Amino acid sequence: MSDTSDRDIVQGYLQHLLVERGVSPNTLAAYRRDLARYLDYLSHRELSLHSVTQSTIDDFLVALREGSLGQSLSQSSVSRHLASLRGLHRYAEAEGVVAGDPAVSVRPPKLPQRLPDVLSTHDVERLLTTPPLDSAVGLRDRALLEFLYATGARISEVVGLDRDDVIADDGFVVARVLGKGHKERLVPVGSCAYDALNAYLVRARPELAGAGVGTPALFLNTRGRRLSRQSAFGVVRSAARLAAIPGAESVSPHTLRHCFATHMLSGGADIRVVQELLGHASVTTTQIYTHVSADALREVYASSHPRALS
């Protein structure tokens, strides 16, 4: 087998992810961090990728969970580390730089199913109408919130949009969204969201753009540049606080994505349609939103069973 160094193997794998797999910068950065920690673990035990066994990987995962390498990690973080190193070992074997794949039989820790936080339609309405309409920033924030809830798009997808990515055709408006793996999809933009977006484009964006040097970005910050993910998070969190939403500190752009999916399914949308709109590769990912609330169960039971109210 090759005498290629561990760090060269990792660098080759990261380049493979970037060029061949088209992963996002955030995903690539997470893989880089996970694999750096893995290589440090191997180095301290005088091991290399050429000598790793399944037991080595099992011990590494235990160390992550127990915190012996620093802060104790959650099961989801441990699972992400395992995904990173499984991909690395699979790549190393395929490239012929190691003799086998010791990670192939390693099983990730079983994750407890955690339902996403979902706001009621009333709370969402309060959240969306919080930003004032008497300033450029307020108009932008209203448009951003309406757009997130109307499309169910990820925040990285929304801040990555350019003006030309919103297309109106015979009264039907769609956004061309670039999702994970550089997969493009079209998502409808409802009339409320489009009205808010149009108000922003006509009355606010020119003012914000005047502070910059010109950018095609749809959503701008006060310096006339593309709005960042961090700033968009701040917009949502600030609106949740002002609207006095319960658990406001945990409300995020992803909360609106959860609300979009749950409210669509509750309204009778087909799960395959919601899967397509969310950009999920598998319908299994979408199924987490199909859990019906206890109140909804009681209401359906009371209205449907012939002896429920006797």
Q: Annotated catalytic sites, by residue?
A: 154, 180, 254, 257, 280, 289
Q: Is 91 helix (H, G, I), strand (E, B) or coil?
A: helix
Nearest CA to 283 among 292, 294, 273? 273
- Please give, one letter per residue, the 3-state secondary structure of 273-298: HHHHHHCCCCHHHHHHHHCCCHHHHH
In which region does residue 295 sit, left (phi positive, over 0), alpha (psi from -120 to 50) or beta (all else)?
alpha
Distances (CA, A) of 220 to 59, 167, 216, 232: 47, 19, 9, 10
Q: Is 80 helix (H, G, I), strand (E, B) or coil?
A: helix
**294 burial type by CB count under 10 A (0-12 exposed, 13-18 middle, 19+ buried):** exposed
Sign of the torsion formed by the C-alpha atoms of 177, 180, 184 and 186:
negative
Strands (E), the chain: 166-169, 172-178, 184-188
The answer to whether 273 and 286 are in contact (CB under 8 A) is no
